């Protein structure tokens, strides 16, 4: 666990972030995946992302547990234990010195010897990095609210690729982002093949109708921020439904908000060009956003970074 | 185009392969993708693979044309022209000195500046490599025939990710390969959500029933080897149908064979444990395999590698 590039003690600039890759620590710019690695070449990898604010990890236990479930779901066998991954994350935060960060942990398939094509024969490995935190949206978009568009491209179905195990199969999302930009929106939201709401690129989606909050139950990542909002709704006495949501319900909603490790709760002001709430995030979205951030500033589900981790 | 690592003139071992990455030539082991690159992190990349046998590219024009269609389909804008990519492929073959090779060309999304999440803002780039040729299967499996298993995991639907633009969305294939291994098979073949045949990991699939060859028309890569076999069937006077093929037709077929840049035509001997043709590839499969390789040895659709390319 203590192997590190010789550069560590010298004048290397860690401010852009620090990484761990297959046993070694290094500046983020040095963390690279072989072009022949199946993690890239077959998108055969799983990952998770945890945020750090003000020197505190948010729900690190939950992210580590989900990461392990993703690893097992896709039959990876990395050598690192959960305790070791936790230590790596503290260490890369310590190396970076960042107070707020986007902290990723990946498990990569690797590759077997030349000519062997069976994934079970590859040696899997872990890569992690801590980069400066960036929100899903710039601050000015938080105030004006997200412009969302319902994509014409259906989300990859759960039956083909299980989205509850966090993975890089974003081909649908990638093209939906181009489509949203073409239509003047900030982000797309994707439907499943039956026309029900799933998720967007990097976030879960909630609607608010007649004061009742609802979010999908299927074909999407079970987000840690989503879970946090479900807890907040219970605390605040807001009714929540977890159920299939049709595209029409999304189009007709009083409010829409999204949840993401990259920003917590973010309200929308437009859906497919329709203006909601006077072109601003709605009141339920704002209450949840404010409560989320107030609680986080007070250490909710926090784990202090060990800035002396070695 | 002429930028090259300083190591070129020295004692670097190019025998494991040569690569080009974003403007520079290098040994294959140095060709790496940043862990933060969307090509890896969102599987936002397209690719193609051409084979070289005996110093000749096979159907290089067709592969370059398909690569360009994939690039355009997914809205990439790399700086290299087709003529430049062709030159790069000759150059990496020259650097490697290989007589037979698996030659890949990738177009990667890259990434935008920190905090920008829109794929249109990224600078796209090209990576290519030439590695020693390896077949889909070891030689002994060619003789005994492939053992295939119909996967329970449906192929990602065309509507979500267009498989005709060659991409790395292999999550369904990856798990299907584990499943096939669990069942004692060499490779899986995947059905679509309606239960019709699509393709396998890295190959198209054909069935032969009552002397008639059939292959699917939808939700799979339009393989260059597949195209070559369709041409061969016409030459040999074999009837061919391009149409939906049910799982039951696959299970009941007289013969099954697969086509791939990694090996041309390869016959199967078992499907879901059922033995075909006395546990050997069938006669139509063998005729097509032999014709394919005889013609290739005679320069069919060949383009000689410029081993002096600089």
Q: Same domain, yes or no, for B32 and B120?
A: yes
Indicate if A128 and A155 belong to the same structural domain: no
**B1 inside domain:** no
Residues B272 and B144 placed together within one structural domain of the fold: yes
In chain B, what percentage of residues exceed pLDDT 70?
96
> By C-alpha distance, which of A291, A234, A245 is closest to A271?
A245
* Preferred mutation among B43, B101, B157 to probe A, highest tally of A CBs within 10 A: B43
Domain assignment of residue B180, yes or no: yes
- B303 in any annotated domain: no
pLDDT tens-digit map of A266-296: 999 999 999 999 999 999 999 999 999 999 9
User: Which residue in B has a C-alpha nearest to residue A151's C-alpha?
Assistant: B160
Task: Answer for the pair B159, A140: CB distance below 8 angstroms, yes or no.
Answer: no
* Res A1 pLDDT > 50: no
A175 CB neighbours in chain B (<8 A) are 74-75
Residue-wise pLDDT tens digits, A239-256: 999 999 999 999 999 999
Exposure of A39 in the CB half-sphere (CA atoms within 13 A): 29
Same-domain pairing of A95 and A152: no
Show which of A101, A133, A165 is a domain's final residue. Answer: A133
Question: What Rg, from alpha-carbon coordinates, does chain B have?
Answer: 20
Asked if A68 and A186 sit in the same domain, the reply is no
| Burial classification of residue A281, based on how many CB atoms lie within 10 Å of its CB (0-12 exposed, 13-18 middle, 19 or more buried) | buried
CB contacts of A181 in chain B (<8 Å) are 118, 120
For residue A302, tell me if it sits in a domain: no
Residue B241 has pLDDT above 90, yes or no: yes
> What distance in Å separates residue B186's CA from the closest CA in chain A?
9
Mean pLDDT along residues A204-214: 98
How many angstroms separate the CA atoms of B198 and B253, rounded? 15
- Decide which of A79, A101, A133 is a domain's last residue: A133
Percentage of residues in chain B with pLDDT exceeding 90? 90
Q: Which of A220, A144, A231 lies closest to A189 in space, CA to CA? A: A220
Q: Give me B285's structure tokens.
A: 């499969």
| Model confidence band, residue A138 (pLDDT cutoffs 50, 70, 90) | confident
For residues A34 and B285, what is the distance between their CA atoms, to the nearest angstrom? 36
Q: Give the start-end residues of each E strand in chain A.
A: 18-21, 24-27, 32-34, 45-53, 56-58, 101-108, 125-132, 146-150, 187-189, 204-209, 212-215, 240-242, 255-260, 264-271, 274-275, 302-304
Compute the average pLDDT of residues A123-146: 93
Contact B171/A175, CB-based, under 8 Å? no
Do B119 and B175 lie in a common domain?
Answer: no
Cβ atoms within 10 Å, residue A174: 22
CB < 8 Å to A40, chain B: 33, 39-40, 45, 168
* Distance of residue A132 Cα from the nearest chain B Cα, in angstroms: 8
The label of the residue with tokens 């192929």 reads B155
Residue of A202, A264, A224, A230 whose CA lies nearest to A67: A224
Model confidence band, residue A4 (pLDDT cutoffs 50, 70, 90): low
Residue B169 has pLDDT above 60, yes or no: yes
CB-CB under 8 Å, B135 with A115: yes
Question: Which CATH number belongs to the domain containing residue B100 in this structure?
Answer: 3.30.470.10
Distances (CA, A) of B56 to B53, B63, B89, B224, B301: 5, 14, 12, 16, 9
User: Domain containing B208 — which CATH number?
Assistant: 3.20.10.10
pLDDT reading at B81 higher than 90: yes
- In this prediction, residue B184 carries a pLDDT of 97
Same domain, B36 and B80: yes
Cross-chain Cβ contact B28/A21 below 8 Å: no
- Of the candidates B77, B107, B133, which is a domain's last residue? B133
CA distance A298 to chain B (A): 26
Q: How far apart are CA A90 and CA A76, in angstroms?
A: 23
Q: Are residues B171 and B234 in the same domain?
A: yes
Taking the model in full, what pTM does it have? 0.95
Subunit contact A160:B153, Cβ cutoff 8 A: yes
Query: Within 10 Å of residue B118's Cβ, how many Cβ atoms?
Result: 14
Q: Which residues of B touch A201 (CB under 8 A)?
A: 42, 117
Tell me how long chain B is: 310
Q: How far is CA A291 from CA A80, A223, A236, B73, B129, in A?
A: 36, 18, 9, 43, 52
Q: How far is CA A190 from the centre of its chain?
A: 16
Contacts of residue B155 in chain A, CB cutoff 8 Å?
160
Residues B126, B145 share a domain: no
> Which of the 8 DSSP states describes residue A246?
B
Instruction: Give the pLDDT band (50/70/90) at residue A10.
Output: low
Strand B125-132 and strand B146-150: the pairing is unpaired
Determine which of A10-14, A30-34, B162-166 has the lowest per-residue pLDDT on average. Answer: A10-14
- Asked whether the ipTM of the predicted complex exceeds the cut of 0.85, the reply is yes
- Domain containing B66: what range? 6-133
| In-domain check, residue A308 | no
- In this complex, which of B33, B35, B39 lies closest to A19 when CB atoms are compared? B35
**Is residue B181 one of the residues assigned to a domain?**
yes
B11 Cβ partners below 8 Å, 6+ apart? none
- Whether residues A116 and A148 share a domain: the answer is no
Q: Give the total number of structural domains in chain A.
A: 2
Q: Distance (Å, rounded) from C-alpha A242 to C-alpha B230?
A: 50
Q: Are residues A22 and A159 in the same domain?
A: no
Burial label for B142, CB within 10 Å (0-12, 13-18, 19+), is middle
User: How far is residue B234's CA from residue B238's CA, in Å, rounded to a whole number?
Assistant: 6
| pLDDT for A8 beyond 90 | no
- Residue B1's pLDDT is 44
Question: What integer pLDDT is reported at residue B139 of this predicted model?
Answer: 86
A171 closest CB neighbour out of B40, B43, B154: B43
Residue A260 and residue A157 share a domain: yes
């Amino acid at each position: 666990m203590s192997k590190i590039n010789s550069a560590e003690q010298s004048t290397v600039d860690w401010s852009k972030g620090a990484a761990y890759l297959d046993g070694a620590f290094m500046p983020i710019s040095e963390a690279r995946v072989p072009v022949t690695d199946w993690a890239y070449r077959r998108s055969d990898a799983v990952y998770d992302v945890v945020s750090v604010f003000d020197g505190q990890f948010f729900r690190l236990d939950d992210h580590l547990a989900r990461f392990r479930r993703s690893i097992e779901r896709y039959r990876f066998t990395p050598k690192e234990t959960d305790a070791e991954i936790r230590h790596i994350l503290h260490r890369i935060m310590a190396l970076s010195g960042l107070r707020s960060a986007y902290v990723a942990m990946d498990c990569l398939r690797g590759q077997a010897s030349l000519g062997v094509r069976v994934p079970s024969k590859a040696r899997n490995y872990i890569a992690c990095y801590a980069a400066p935190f960036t929100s899903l949206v710039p601050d000015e978009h938080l105030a004006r609210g997200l412009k969302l568009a319902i994509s014409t491209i259906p989300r990859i179905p759960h039956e083909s690729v299980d989205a509850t195990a966090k993975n890089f199969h974003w081909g649908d999302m990638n093209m939906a982002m181009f489509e949203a930009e073409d239509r003047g929106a900030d982000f797309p939201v994707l439907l499943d093949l039956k026309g029900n709401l799933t998720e967007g690129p990097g976030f879960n989606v909630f609607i608010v109708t007649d004061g009742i909050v609802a979010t999908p139950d299927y074909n999407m990542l079970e987000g840690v921020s989503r879970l946090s909002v479900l807890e907040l709704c219970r605390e605040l006495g807001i009714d929540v439904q977890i159920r299939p949501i049709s595209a029409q319900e999304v189009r007709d909603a009083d409010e829409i908000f999204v949840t993401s490790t990259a920003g917590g709760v973010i309200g929308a002001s437009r859906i497919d060009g329709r203006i909601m709430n006077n072109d601003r995030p709605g009141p339920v979205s704002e209450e949840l956003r404010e409560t989320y951030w107030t609680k986080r500033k007070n250490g909710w589900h926090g784990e202090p970074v060990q800035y002396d981790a070695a």
